[in-house]
Amino acid sequence: MVEGDVAPQVQEDDDEEDDETEELPVEPPTEESHPGYEYIQQEGDTEAKIELGEQLYFDPRISETGTISCNTCHNVMEGGDDSRPTAMGVHGQTGPVNSPTVWNSGFHHTQFWDGRADTLADQAEGPIVADVEMGMPDHEAALDRVRAVDGYVEQYEEVYGDEVESDDPEDLVTLEHTVDAIAAYERTLVTPNSSYDQYVEGDADALTEQQLDGMESFQELGCQSCHSGPMFSGQWDDPESGEGVYQRHPTFEDNPQCEEYVEEYDLMENPGRAGVTDDEADEYMYKVPTLRNVEHTAPYMHTGEVPTLEEAVRVMATCQLDEEPSDEEVEDITAFLTSLTGEYPEQEMTRLPAPSGESMIPADADAEFEDIEEEPEEDTDQVEADGGDGIPGMTIATAVIALAIATATALVGYTRRLDE
Amino acid sequence: MVEGDVAPQVQEDDDEEDDETEELPVEPPTEESHPGYEYIQQEGDTEAKIELGEQLYFDPRISETGTISCNTCHNVMEGGDDSRPTAMGVHGQTGPVNSPTVWNSGFHHTQFWDGRADTLADQAEGPIVADVEMGMPDHEAALDRVRAVDGYVEQYEEVYGDEVESDDPEDLVTLEHTVDAIAAYERTLVTPNSSYDQYVEGDADALTEQQLDGMESFQELGCQSCHSGPMFSGQWDDPESGEGVYQRHPTFEDNPQCEEYVEEYDLMENPGRAGVTDDEADEYMYKVPTLRNVEHTAPYMHTGEVPTLEEAVRVMATCQLDEEPSDEEVEDITAFLTSLTGEYPEQEMTRLPAPSGESMIPADADAEFEDIEEEPEEDTDQVEADGGDGIPGMTIATAVIALAIATATALVGYTRRLDE
C-alpha cells in the first residue's frame, strides 16, 4: 500500500549500469503509485467469503437462460471486460453502454458509467435483474436458484451463519449477502506493479523513451485534468463512497472534428448521468473511467464504438481538451498508456457447487421476454419510477415484437444446421 | 493408469474398524476402475500445448459476437456441461440436443450424440462455425481472430514452430493446430477417485448400503448391457477411434409408459445417427453416454428435457429395458450413480492473451445471420452436401425472418431498461 507523496526516486540497486541515472527524465503525472489490495480490503473479507463471491461471480446458472454470469461481460481472464462495443446478455440482447473493467473496480468511488451505484455491492444488484443482462424476473427468483444448491447454502451458512443466527436458506441466501460476497471477491481484483508503478517507485528504466515522451504529452495536453490520481480516474484524496468524478463528454462538441466523432461514434445517443438525476446539468456527464490496463479494454468510450486506443486518444484530445494532437503525440500517449498495464494475479479456477441430479434451469427458460408479455403495465411503471432509464410507453409494441422474435427464432433455430 | 482386470480387493489398512470387512457385498458392475490421464495422454501433449488449448477453450472472442467459448456449453467449472436442456449459442439461438460433458471426454471412442466426429480434435471444429453455437462464418474468420493476437501467434510458434518451420501466422495458426491444442487440453479433464473407483480398488466402505443396493439393481435391470466399461459408456477393450457404442433410443417405444415419455420428452424428434449415415437402420441410434459425474449433468437425455436423475433412470428402465422399476429401485440406482462422481482436478485460471489497444470483435458483430443474408445459395448447398443436417430451401424465408429479428432486437434493445 502506498499513501501520500511518493516522489520518484532513483532506485538504489547494485546494478552498475543504472547507477548513472541520477534524475528522472520527467515528473510522473501523479504523485502516488497503485495502492494494493490492503487499501480496499474490508473487515470481514475472509477467504470463505471471497471464495463464495468468486463462485457467484462465475455462475451463469443465476441468469434466466443459465448462460450469463458476471464474468460474461466482465471477464477476468481478459481485461475485465468483454471485448465488445456494448454488453450482450440473455437472448442475444445488447445494452447501450460499454462494459467497464472489473479490474481495480474496488478503487472506484462510484459505479456504472452514470454513477447510479455507490458501491460494488450496490452495483452487483443491477445486472441480475436487468432484461438485457442476466434477465432474472426479480431478485428472489435468482436467490431461489442459489438456494436450490445445497453446497451454496452451506457456504452462506459458513460465511453469514453467525450473523443471522439461522440455518434457514431464506435467511442465509439473501440479496445483501450475495452482493456482499461478490463485492468481496471483486475487491481482490487488483493489478499491481505496472511499468508506470515501477517508474514512480524509482525505476527510471521502467518506461521506454517513447512512453516518457507520451507521459509528457499526456501532461501537456491536459489529460490529467480528469485522469488524475493513482487510478487515473480523478480525485484521490480518500473520497467517500458515491463521490465519483464526472465530466461532460463531449465537452467541446462544437469543435468540427469532435462533431464528426460525435456522429461516427454515437457519443451523444445516451443522456449520461442525467438519466439518473433527471437534472439537465448532468446531461452527457459520465464517470471518468480508470486508465489502468486500458490497452486491454478495447473498444472504447461509453458507446464502445471507438475501435483503437490511438483513436480514443484522438477523440479525447479533440472533444475534451479542444486540442489537435500530432500523430507523434497520439502514438506517444498511446505508448504511455500501455505502461499502465499491471500484473494480473494468478487465480485458482473456481468450482461451482452443483445440485445433485436436478435441473437448475427451467426447460422454458428460452421463452423470450416472458415477463414483459405477462406484466406490461407493471414494467412500464417500473421504468418510469427508475428515473427514465428506458423509454416508457413502448410496452405493447415491445410485446408484439418480442412475440415475433420468439416465433422467428424458433423457426430459424429449427432450420439451421446443428453442431452439438 | 489401470488396465485389465482389477478385481475388488479388501483394502489393507491399519484401521481396525475396517479389518472385519473380509468380503465385498456385491461385485461391481465392471472389472476396471477409472483409467487416469496417462491412458489418453498423447505424445506431444506438452504443457505449452495444453496451456494454449486451455486459452482457446475459454476464449469467447473466437465466436461471432465475442460471447461464446467452448466453455460456455461445456463448463468445466460445472459438470462439464451447461445445465440447460439444449445449448444456447450466439444471438440466443438454441441447438437441438443436450450438451454432453467435456469431463472424461478423452476416453470416448466417438464424439457428438450422433458420433459424427471420431476424435476430440474433429469434434472441436464443428461448434466454431455452427450457426447456433459460436457462429463464425467460416474457420478462416475464426483463425484470423486468433492471428490478430500477438501473444497467441507467439504461443503457436512455441508449440508448432518446429513442425512447420515458419513464423508466418498463416502457417502457424491453422485449424489443425487449433483443434489439436484444444483436444490436448480436453484430454487433461479427467476425474479420478470416485467412491465407486475407491470401492473397486478395494475399499468396501466407499459405498453406502443404498449405493450397494443400487449397484445390484443396476446389474439386475440390465443397465450394464449398454453402460459397461470403466466409463459406463459401452465397450472398453482398446477400441479404435471412431468406434463408438450406439443404441437405439427408445428401444421399446411401444411400451405404453415409454410412449408417454416419448411424448413428454420429445425423444423421437431427432433422427439420431441416421442424420449422419442417412441409413434407416440408424434411426434413433445414439451414442451411449458416460455415466461418470452424471449427477452433475442434469437435465438428461439427448433432448435434455428430463429434469431429474431419478426420472432419467425411470425413462431408461422403461424405454431401453422394458422394465418397471419400483420406487425403491429407482432411488437406489440414483444413489449408486452419485458414486460415479469423481474428483475434479484443481486448475489455474487461464489468462487470455490480449491484443494491445485494438478491438477484436467487429462493431457489426450483432447484425444477426449476416452470412445467410449475403450468401443464401451457398448456404443451402452446404446444408445439403452435409447430409441433411438441416432443412434446405428455407433460406429466403430465413433471411426475411432474420432481418425482422435484427430490426426488432435493435428496437427492443433500445426500449429496455439498461443496467450496465
> What's the pLDDT tens digit per position in A77-107?
999 999 999 999 999 999 999 999 999 999 9
Query: Number of helices (H) and strands (E), helices first, in chain A?
Result: 17, 2
ipTM of the complex: 0.84
Task: List residues of B with catalytic annotation.
Answer: 133
Question: Residue A367's pLDDT band (boundaries 50, 70, 90)?
Answer: low
CA distance A272 to chain B (A): 12
Spatial distance between the Cα atoms of B226 and B217, rounded to a whole number of angstroms: 15
Q: Which residue in A185, A93, A84, A173 sits closest to A133, CA to CA? A: A93
Contact B354 A78 (CB under 8 A): yes
Q: Kindly compute the dihedral angle of the four CA atoms of residues B249, B254, B260, B261, in this order, to the nearest 10 degrees.
A: -10
Per-residue pLDDT for chain B (420 aa), expressed as one digit of tens each? 333 333 333 344 444 444 444 466 788 888 778 999 999 999 999 999 999 999 999 999 999 999 999 999 999 999 999 999 999 999 999 999 999 999 999 999 999 999 999 999 999 999 999 999 999 999 999 999 999 999 999 999 999 999 998 889 999 999 999 999 999 999 999 999 999 999 999 999 999 999 999 999 999 999 999 999 999 999 788 888 899 899 999 999 999 999 999 999 999 999 999 999 999 999 999 999 999 999 999 999 999 999 999 999 999 999 999 999 999 999 999 999 999 999 999 999 999 999 999 999 988 777 544 443 333 333 333 333 333 333 333 333 443 344 444 434 433 333 333 333
pLDDT band at residue A272 using 50, 70 and 90 as cut-offs: very high
> Of all helices (H) and strands (E), which one includes residue B246?
strand B246-248
Give strand pairing partners of A248.
Answer: A285
Check A133, A157, A305, A368 and give the catalytic one. A133
**Confidence (pLDDT) at A31:** 73
Q: Which three cell numbers stand for residue A38?
A: 490492503
C-alpha grid cell for residue B49?
500445448
Q: Where are the beta strands (DSSP E) in B26-174?
A: none
Question: Which cell goes with B168?
Answer: 508466418
**Cβ-based neighbour number of residue B129 at 10 Å:** 21
Q: What is the pLDDT of residue A336?
A: 98
Q: Do B409 and A93 touch (CB under 8 A)?
A: yes
Band the pLDDT of A151: cuts 50, 70, 90. Answer: very high
Contacts of B197 (CB under 8 A, 6+ apart): B33, B34, B342
Least Cα separation, residue B105 to chain A (angstroms)? 14
A419 with B126: Cβ contact below 8 A? yes
What is the interface size between A and B, counted as CB pairs within 8 Å? 303
What is the pLDDT at residue A405?
A: 45
CB A247 within 8 A of CB A285: yes
For the segment A47-86, what is each residue's pLDDT rounded down to a tens digit? 999 999 999 999 999 999 999 999 999 999 999 999 999 9
Where does residue B73 rank: exposed (0-12), middle (13-18), buried (19+ CB within 10 A)?
buried
Whether A92 and B92 lie within 8 Å, measured CB to CB: yes
Q: What is the pLDDT, as a whole number, of residue A28?
A: 82
B293 φ/ψ angles, rounded to the nearest 5 degrees: 60, 20
Asked about A3 being catalytic, the answer comes back as no
As a whole number of Å, the end-to-end CA separation of chain A is 49
Q: What is the DSSP string of B161-194?
A: HHHHT---HHHHS-HHHHHHHHHHHHHT------
B-chain CB neighbours of A92 within 8 Å are 65, 90-93, 366, 368, 409
Spatial distance between the Cα atoms of A170 and A136, rounded to a whole number of angstroms = 18
Residue among A164, A141, A157, A195 nearest A48 (CA): A157
Rounded CA gap, B417 and B245, in Å? 50
CA angle A271, A138, B411 (to 5 degrees): 40
Which chain A positions have a beta carbon within 8 Å of B355's beta carbon?
298
pLDDT number for residue A238: 80
Beta strands in A194-341 (DSSP E): 246-248, 285-287
Residue B328 distance to chain A (closest CA, Å)? 16
- Per the CB < 8 Å rule, is A358 touching B419? no
DSSP letter assigned to residue B65: T
Domains, chain A = 21-35+191-338 (1.10.760.10), 39-187 (1.10.760.10), 370-415 (no CATH)
**Beta bridge partner(s), residue B358:** A308
State the smallest CA–CA distance between residue B418 and chain A in angstroms: 6
Cβ atoms of residues A286 and A114 within 8 Å: yes
Average pLDDT, chain A: 85
Confidence of residue A269 (pLDDT cuts 50, 70, 90): very high
Residue of B nearest to A275 (CA): B418
B130–A418 C-beta distance less than 8 A = yes
